Every structure is written in C-alpha cells, then in structure tokens.
Structure 1
Amino acid sequence: MKAKTKKVLLAASLLSLFSPVVMKNQASALDIQAPTFIDDVKVKLLFRPRYEYVDDHSPNKNANALTIRTSIGVQINKIFQVNGLKAYIEATDVGALVDDYSPQKSGYATVNDPDIARITEAYLSYTLNKTTFIAGRTRVNLDDERFIGSVDWRQMPQTFGIIGIKDNTIKNLDILIAGIYERKGVTDTLNAHWRLDKMPIVLHGSYTFMPQLKITAYGYLITNISNTYGINARGDIGLTKDIKFSYLGEYAVQKDPYTKYNVATKPKVDADFYRVEAKLSGYGFFGIAGYERFQGADKGESKGFTTPLATLHKWEGWADNFLGYIANTDTFGLKDAYFTLGYTYKDYGTATITYHKFDADKSTGYVGNTLKTISSKNFGSEVDVLYTVDLTKRLNFLAKAAFYDGKNITGSPSLKDLTKYWIQLTYRY
C-alpha cells in the first residue's frame, strides 16, 4: 500500500479516537476501545479495486485504469452519554496502480478517478424524538439521485457540507431543510464553497399515502446556477401475488438562481423537465421503460435545464457521454428513451441490458443571445450491460460495459463513438 494511503488511514484512526465527529447506511463492523466521553464505537472499512477501459474513438490513446478505493470510517453512537448525539468520520484514499489515463497522463482517454485523498465525511447529528439536526460533511442522496446524489460509482464520492434538519414527526411525512456550505466533488476541480448567507438551499418533502402512491415535492436553490422546483409521484401496485407494477412520473421547472456569488451577472434560466417510467417485475425477471425530456436554452438564456449536483452516471447511459452536457449547458436539450430487461436470483446475482435512444430537444439553442446549431437532432444510441453478484456476505463482484454509437455528430456536444468496460470487487467490513 502506498505511503499516502497509510498516512490517510492512520490519521482517520487517530481522529476517530479523539474527535466527536458521523453517517448512515454503511455496512458496519467492529467495536473498539474508546475514551470515556464516547460510547458505542464501530469501525467500518471498504476496499474497492476496479479496472476501467475507455476507447473514446479519438486521437487519444485508449485508457487503462486500475484504481482502488480504500475507506475507513468510525461511527460514534453516543457522545458525553447524551442519547441521540452521534458522530461519524470517514477518510478515503483513491490510488492508481495502473495510471494510463487522463488526468494522470496526457494523451489518454479520461477516467475520472485521479489519485486523491480526503476526509469524505465528518459530521455531528442530534436526534430528539423524530427530529434530527445535522451539521458537517456527509453524503446526500435524495430520492433516486436524479438531482442530488453522492456519485458513489466513482472511486471518490461526492459529499456536501450541510447544516440541516430532518423531521418525520407526522406519520408518513418526511421533511428535509438544509443549507449547503461546501461541495466536495469526485475530483478537486468540482469543489465549491459558499458563504453562509449565499448557500444553496435544499427543501424536500414527501408523503406516503399508501404503497401505491408517494408524492414528493422539492425546491433546490443552487447559488449561481438555478432554482429548481418539482414534484413527482411513484408507487408499487401488486398485480398478482408474484407480479408487481411500479411507476414514476415527475415534472420540474428551473428559473434564475435566487442569488449570485462571485459572478458578474446572475444566470438567466427558464426551462423545464419531465420523465415517466414504468417497471414490471415478477419471478426474478423485470422490465423497465422510461422517457426523459430536458428543455434546451432559448434566446437570452444562459443554459437549458441542468442537474449539476446529481449522480449523473446513473442517467443518460453509463458511457457518461452526456454527463458534462446535462450538468452544465444543455444548450439543445435532450430526449432519452430507454428500455431495460433484467433477471435477478439470490444465489447467482443480477444481469441487465439497457438500450438508450438519444435526441436533441431542438436543433438550435442559445448561449445568451448567441445562436448555436447542430448538424442533426439524432444524438445517437447506447447499449449498457451489467452483471453483479455477492460472492460472500461482504464481497461483491461487478462487471459492466457501455457501447455508445454517436453517428459522428458535430457541434456541442461532440458525439463520437465511445466504449467502456469495468471489472470491480467491493469488500465491506
């Protein structure tokens, strides 16, 4: 193991013993000795080696990346003998064992897993009855991560510094109100910090009427980018004892951000988004059909509908060909019709195949008052395949691939063919 990795893990271990520092939804493990002012301490470990191959059909050399994520976390479930006062700290190191890829080396295709180490989570939380106050750096995954997520697919996850409150005092009603004072992206180039009076604001509430209907409403007020307001409905309907139908419908609008911070002018945004999805599952088989539509930019607008804080790898194909486009510009909009077939079995894992058909929302778009055009509204297609299985209780194997056919479309985005493969092991303790 590299010296840098050893230093990060040692620092995390020392901090865990003397810092009152938090998180959730992690596989847990080992009780350790702790100072008297803290109690119920558990250590969590994760090792995730992964091989990634990228052929971007350009003058760049094909990328070959063998990377490993090493994480150690310490969960403290009681501080100063105060019930409900908890803390979590986690350090993560990403190391490249084979680094024939950009940004590690110039002239190669890109893999967004550079050598990097940081404290990924460090937060305090206090729960009183059914209300939780939280402050510090943590993962934030809202709904299915369409708008805000931790991007855990990449070796360095995305985390946020937040000050927030969660409440479910009213049965079936979950509310989150939070301010974001920092973003730690999957690479350091995505990091951002905000003054407390200029923070992005998260407003999120959901009410479960019945298993067949859950309504969620939200407002994501992102400094310097946009204000997003939306609503979705989802639910599960049992057709027979063994067959289930699930659905999702969502609509959102984006407007100018509520404030600007360190920019000369406030961006102009006026766009909408909708998606529908249906899933039929039974006897281990499942099928999904969905459609998303992002509106592009009209005259005088800075961008179309964007989702800069989402777990974007989950959407618009695993090749990530539209990742930067949907995060930042979406000049011409985007339509994505997708279909998935899969099978899962407890002892043999899950296998899926997904097809995407991409199109522009329109052939002309604007950046401010500058007219942009593309040669075709056909944005290509993609096939994604996946196989994953739990080899043991703690060890998971994953193999997947993405094949994007871009039709060599010119303009922005530039849509050349793209091929990616991954092989990954994940061990949790």
Structure 2
Amino acid sequence: MKTMSTAAAVLAVGGAFCAHSAKAEEFSIKPVVEARLRYEHVEQQGIADQADAVTVRVRGGAQATTGRFTATVVAQGNLAIDGHYYDGLNGAATRPLVADPQNVGLYIGQLQYKAKGFTLTAGRQKIVLDDERFVGNVGFRNNAQTFDAVRAEITPIKSVKLDVSYVWDVRTIWGSDGHGARQQGISGNNVLGNLSWTTPLGTLTGFAYLVDQNEAPVQGFRLSSQTYGGRFAGTHAFSKAVKLAYQASYAHQSDWRRNPNSYSADYYLADGTLDVKGWKLNAGYEVLGADQGVAFTSFQTPLGTNFKFQGWADKFLTTPANGVRDLYFGGGYGAKKFGPLTAITLQGTWHRFNSDRLDQHYGDEVDLLAQAKLKKTTMAVRYAHYEAHALATDTDKVWLQLDWAI
C-alpha cells in the first residue's frame, strides 16, 4: 500500500502540473532502461551446501520534464534464474546468504523542482551523501535502497551547499516480500543534514544524521541513533601524471528516539590514494567504536552502503558488539581506454580486522576486482576471501556481472 500511494501521489501531482504547463513550456520524455545479469557463488565454512545465484534485474520507466519540473517513475524486478541460495526471506538457511530476493516493485517515484541554487525532490528517491558511509543507495544489491522522502538541496553561494532530507520510510534491499527483521520498508522520522564547503584543498562537510528505525521487529528499535560529525576530502596534483587523493572523517553516535540502549561510540577514518600514471596505491584505517561490549552499543550505519566498506565478504554489515578496526592496504591500475574497452579498473585490497574493545583479531580479507566497459555494457569479475580468527567463519565469494543501460 505504501508503494502504491507513493507512486500515485507522484503521478497525480506530476500529471496535473504537466497538463497545466505543457502549453507554456517545452515538454520532453526520456526513457529509463537498465538491466543486470549476475552470477554469485558463495562457499562458507559451517554450511555444507554452496550458494549459486544467477539473477536478472531489470528496471524500466521514464522521466518527464517541463520547465523546472521533472517527474520520474521507475519500476524494477529481480528474477532468480538459478535459485540455489538462501535469499534471506524464503526457505531454510541451508545455503549461504545471497541478499537478492525475487522482487517486483516501484524503485523511483519522485517529483523534482530545480532552479538556480535550489533543488527540491519529493517521493521515492535515491539519496547518496558523501562516500555513502552513512547514507547510500546500496547499489550493488539488486533491490537497491531508496527513500520515501522530501529532500532540499540549497547552494546559496558557489562553494557552499546545504542538503537536508526528511525520510519517513526506508525502502530496503529485501523488496516486496520483506518481513520481520528484514522488512520491505522501515518507517520512522529520519532527518539527514549535510552542510559542505568546497575549498581549493578539498571539501569540508559537517553532518547530522538522525536515524529512526521505528519498527519493533528490526532489532527492537536498537538501530535508532543520532550521529554528528565532519569529513574532509580532496585531491592534490603534483604533476599531470601524479596526484594524491585524501580523506579524513570523525563522528560521534549515541542512542535516539525509542532505542532501549544507552550508549556512546566514535567513528574515525583516514585514507589516502597515490595515483602515478594510472597506477594506484591506497592505505587507510577505519574505526567503528564500541561502548559497553553489548550488542548494538557500537557504532552502527544502518542507512549506509556498507558493502563498499570493510570487505566484500559482508562480515561487518552490522558492527560487532566490541566494534571494529579496519587497517587496509590496496593497489591497482586504471585506464580510460584499451582497444574497444573503456573505464578499465584492476584493484586489490587486503584488510586486517581487529575489535575496538579487547583487541581481538577478528580475521583478514582479500578483495580483488577486474572491471571494464564495452559500449553500454559494464563487465566485472569480483572475488572476496575472508579468513576468520575470532569472528564469523572462512568465506569465499565470486561474482560475474554484466550491467547495461541505455
């Protein structure tokens, strides 16, 4: 019902406006068509059977623009061609989890007004802030995360931007069949505030994220939190061939709204990447702190694109009770073009995971990626190996993926 009401509201408002202003303004329609084919294989110690998931995700819709208004409606469907995996919702967990359940539903249903220095977006939409650590789209999963929200982006002067959203429903990766702790939508009064200032050295951002997970089956409200912090990210070119990218971030989190826990935890990040003629070296240290050593009293990021951080084996999507410290080193190569291929990426990263409390060595992980684009198709091969010590179990994951968009 929430999906239908959101889509109906956007279509009604957008249709009414378009009908009224089409006489005075130029009217255009742009199709939206995307497709993804993916094979995901998982072997996990302690689970006898392997997971083999072959899925096809298709998105289709349109953007209608007239004057300063744009209405966008995009539907999506995910089909399991080979369903030899546990999707998190259906059946017993006799195989490893692949979090891509079958789904048909509304992906985007929004109306946007855009003027100089001001953008207002209402309806079901993507919200991606900074590096997606705290608020993101979870785009790697087939049923990506979107938000039923009103978002205002204000640029009063060229170098300053204020980005504020009120979110009343978080549409999760679990899709139309989501239930229990893995619901299709999590209601609540969420406020996401982000103020950035761009300088010659980089962008300085202050943020306040008030997360209200107001659904009792979702960890008993224990993911509701208030997070305040700052981030600085920029690049420096030593020459045409050599440049350095850097970022640093700090945040403090505590309980909020109906969260029954009382806790206080900190977040730290320092990261740098040296690029020499396409060859890259990367190192970083990220800490999601702990307070009491009790579940959900450590720093949590329930709205973030967590797959991007702390390894692709997904062992730390929920921060352990004792927190996590991630020391990582990586390298790779990137090229704009090689023969018919473009946007070429070769990448490898090694992680060492320790706890924030008690100095436990959780485990180590290696992640590898090869990716390139051929015309409108992006091809990717990805691998993750997690070697457990004090947390979780040994896990290997392989992905073969094709993405296509018009």
Name the TM-score, length of structure 1 as normaliser: 0.82
Name the structure 1 match of 2:69.
Answer: 85
Once the two structures are superposed, the pairs formed by residues 222-261 of structure 1 within 5 Å of their partners are: 222-223=211-212, 224=221, 225-257=224-256, 259-260=257-258
Name the structure 2 match of 1:5.
Answer: none
Matched, 1:67 2:55: yes
Matched, 1:384 2:362: no
1:315-345 alpha-carbon deviations (Å, 9 max, x no partner) = 010011111x22xxx3101000111101012
From 300, 308, 322, the counterpart of 2:302: 308
| Alpha-carbon distance in 1 for matches of 2:281, 2:356 | 26
Matched, 1:216 2:205: yes
Name the structure 2 match of 1:205.
Answer: 195
| Alpha-carbon distance in 1 for matches of 2:298, 2:11 | 47
1:268 touches 1:301 (CA, 8 Å); kept in 2? no
The CA deviation at 1:129 is 2.6
| Alpha-carbon distance in 1 for matches of 2:106, 2:308 | 24
Name the structure 2 match of 1:4.
Answer: none
1:287 touches 1:342 (CA, 8 Å); kept in 2? yes
Alignment CA distance shift 1:21-1:282 (3 Å): farther
Once the two structures are superposed, the pairs formed by residues 316-327 of structure 1 within 5 Å of their partners are: 316-323=310-317, 325-326=318-319
Once the two structures are superposed, the pairs formed by residues 28-427 of structure 1 within 5 Å of their partners are: 39-78=27-66, 83-103=67-87, 104-106=90-92, 107-187=94-174, 188=178, 189-194=182-187, 199-210=189-200, 212-223=201-212, 224=221, 225-257=224-256, 259-260=257-258, 266-298=260-292, 302-323=296-317, 325-326=318-319, 330-348=320-338, 349-363=344-358, 377-392=360-375, 394-407=376-389, 409=390, 414-427=391-404
Name the structure 2 match of 1:29.
Answer: none
What is the aligned-residue identity percentage? 28
2:268 touches 2:286 (CA, 8 Å); kept in 1? yes
1:222-251 alpha-carbon deviations (Å, 9 max, x no partner) = 125110001011111111221001111110
1:352 touches 1:385 (CA, 8 Å); kept in 2? yes
| One-letter amino acid of the counterpart of residue 123, structure 1 | Q
| One-letter amino acid of the counterpart of residue 122, structure 2 | A
Alignment CA distance shift 1:308-1:155 (3 Å): same
The CA deviation at 1:18 is 6.6
| One-letter amino acid of the counterpart of residue 158, structure 1 | Q
Moved beyond 3 Å, runs of 4+? 17-22, 35-38, 190-194, 299-302
| One-letter amino acid of the counterpart of residue 81, structure 2 | L
Alignment CA distance shift 1:403-1:85 (3 Å): same
Alignment CA distance shift 1:238-1:98 (3 Å): same
Alignment CA distance shift 1:388-1:20 (3 Å): farther
Name the structure 2 match of 1:25.
Answer: none
Alignment CA distance shift 1:222-1:286 (3 Å): same
The CA deviation at 1:192 is 3.5
| Alpha-carbon distance in 2 for matches of 1:18, 1:292 | 43
| One-letter amino acid of the counterpart of residue 49, structure 1 | L
The CA deviation at 1:118 is 0.9
RMSD over aligned Cα atoms = 2.3
Name the TM-score, length of structure 2 as normaliser: 0.86
The CA deviation at 1:214 is 1.2
| Structure 1 unmatched ranges of 5 or more | 1-10, 23-34, 364-375
| Structure 2 unmatched ranges of 5 or more | 16-20, 213-220, 339-343
| One-letter amino acid of the counterpart of residue 52, structure 1 | E
Out of 96-105 and 177-186, give the one that drifted further: 96-105
